[in-house]
Each structure stands twice: as C-alpha cells, then as structure tokens.
Amino acid sequence: MATITAAMVKDLREKTGVGMMDCKQALNETNGDMDAAVDWLRKKGLSKAAKKAGRVAAEGLIGAVVSGTKGVVIEVNSETDFVARNEQFQGLVKMIAQVALKAGTDVEQIKAAKVGDVTVDRAITDAIATIGENMTLRRAAELSVKDGVVASYVHNAVIDGLGKMGVIVALESTGAKDELATLGRQIAMHVAASNPQALDAAGLDPQVVAREKDVLADKYRQQGKPDAMIEKIVESGLKTYYKEVTLLEQPFIHDSGKTVAQAVKEAEGKVGAPVKIAGFVRYGLGEGIEKQDSDFAAEVAAAAGQN
C-alpha cells in the first residue's frame, strides 16, 4: 500500500480542482497512481464538476428560513436561470439553508457539515456533476433575538422560501408572537422594496456619509455659496439623505404617511409590548458578481461543431 502524502493530494487537487478529501480517497483507491486517480475521479463524475468550477455562476436562488427566534438567508449560485427551476437544485438550496440554521453562517463550516453520510460540499459537487452547471455557496447570514421573532420575505419565490431576493428581519419584543410575525413580514417586504443601507444614521458606513457630505458641499461651493451657508445646507441635505437610506426614517411602503419607526410604534398597541427592530439582512441574487457577456447563438453553434 503506497503512502499517500499531503503533496500528492495537493498535486491531484491542482490538476482536477476536486476537494481534498475526494483527492485523498482517489489516491488511496488507486494505490497512489496519479493518472489512475484522475480517471477514478472522472468515473465518479467529480472531475466533470471540477471542469465547470471556473465558470461564472451569477444566477441561482436565495433561500430564507426562520425558526422562532432565529433566521438565516443564503445565496447559492448557478450559471443559468434555468437551474433555479430544477427541483434537485431547489432541494439542494433548501437543504443548505436548513443546515445553516444549525451550523452557523461561515461558508466553510456549512460546506463541511454533514447531511446523512455526505457533506454539504459533496452534495454540491454531486449536483454539479448531475445537473451540468457550476454551483457555489456564495454567502450566508443569520439574525437571532432572545425574545421576539425573526420574520422573512422572499421576492419572486419559485417555491416557498426560495427566490431571487430574500430578507430576514429580527424584532425584539415580549408581545404577541403572531402580531410580531405579521409586522416582521411587512417590514421585510419594505426592506425588499426600499433597500435601506442601515437601520439608522449611526449604522451607516462613515466613509459613505463623508462622501455624501463632500458631494453636497462641492455642489453648493460651485454655486458660489459662502462656507458658513454651505455647512448648514449640507446638514440639511444629510437629513434628507438619511430619510432615503435608513430603514427607520424611510416612508413605510404599506402606509407612506408614516415612517417605518412610526409604523412600529403604532403596532405596539396590537403587539401589547414595546417593539425594537434588532436588525435586517437583504440578499439580492448575484449582486456584486461581475457577469460575463455571452453570444448565445455563437455558443450553440460552437457546441454543434459549427464555425
């Protein structure tokens, strides 16, 4: 029996792009023969998955799941929108969301977690080999409260809990949980529609606020306004900016005559106790991923062996 070294495993991983554990198993099964190990991986469909790993995956699904005082939202990407309608892929995303609810939101920990006899990472690899597209678990986030609820909303849902955009909102309160859940879903829908950048002004990135101040100041400086006046105008402009980008100050989409903060305060009567928005997370599918432009007709022609 050949001794399988870390260097051999590393070499096979670099050749195939397959995970370390699968590479080690392949080398064990082939007594350390590198070429035979590559063939072993190909027979298992794993090298097929590895060949797809370099492709841009910017489609897919957002999954959101809540359980009482805890909720998670995840993004699993695929290459095309067609896969989002694939039942196997949908099942995979749902499974990963449930795992994240227990394992936490570190992507590597989720991938290492086991479902039955296989890891999540292996389940993804198997799905790549079966469905024929690159897939990646891109990110995950969670919210929890000691007392209250975490509510969710999925926009353009393909099935329950899966869609193109997912939001979770955490509400702290000792009040009625059913009323809290209703309020939480309404706020989650608001977050999906209005895309607030932070809960309040204190939660905004200081660099973003500084940039906004510079833009406002430069605008009025070019108009010839004196510095003393510019300072006051900028402060007024920032207040308007906060109303646009902070959740508590935005006009509530369900009743634009109130801010979100006012709507929450008013809901306390039904809830029967004070309510605090403890946080929110909004995931939009593929945001921040640089998508590649492609000529679909040319791709089909190439696949058919045409020039």
Q: Are 263 and 271 in contact (CB under 8 A)?
A: no
| One-letter amino acid for residue 275 of the chain | V
> Which parts of the chain have pLDDT scores under 70?
1, 14, 17, 42-58, 290-307
Q: Do the domain assignments include residue 305?
A: no
Q: Are 220 and 234 in contact (CB under 8 A)?
A: yes
Question: Which pTM does this prediction carry?
Answer: 0.76
Q: What is the pLDDT of residue 190?
A: 97
The domain that holds 191 is classified in CATH as 3.30.479.20
Query: Which range marks the domain in which residue 16 is found?
Result: 6-51
Here the tokens at position 242 are 């906060």
Q: What is the Cα Rg of the chain in Å?
A: 25
Q: What is the pLDDT of residue 291?
A: 61
- Statement to judge: residues 256 and 241 lie in one domain: no
User: Residue with structure tokens 């696949």?
Assistant: 303
Q: Do the domain assignments include residue 170?
A: yes
Q: What is the pLDDT of residue 45?
A: 62
Q: Do the domain assignments include residue 128?
A: yes
- Statement to judge: residues 107 and 215 lie in one domain: no
- Statement to judge: residues 67 and 158 lie in one domain: yes
Q: What is the pLDDT of residue 151?
A: 97
Q: Are 38 and 47 in contact (CB under 8 A)?
A: yes
Q: Do the domain assignments include residue 290?
A: no
- What's the rounded Cα separation, in Å, for the pair 12 and 34? 7
Q: Are 135 and 128 in contact (CB under 8 A)?
A: yes
Counted domains in the chain:
3
- What's the rounded Cα separation, in Å, for the pair 240 and 209? 12
User: Residue with structure tokens 């101040």?
Assistant: 213
Sign of the CA dihedral running 116, 85, 163, 136:
positive
- Statement to judge: residues 109 and 236 lie in one domain: no
Convert the pLDDT of each residue in 162-194 to its tens digit: 999 999 999 999 999 999 999 999 999 999 999
Report the run of H or E that residue 276 belongs to, with start and end.
strand 276-284
Q: What is the pLDDT of residue 296?
A: 45
Q: Are 72 and 64 in contact (CB under 8 A)?
A: yes
- Statement to judge: residues 120 and 241 lie in one domain: no
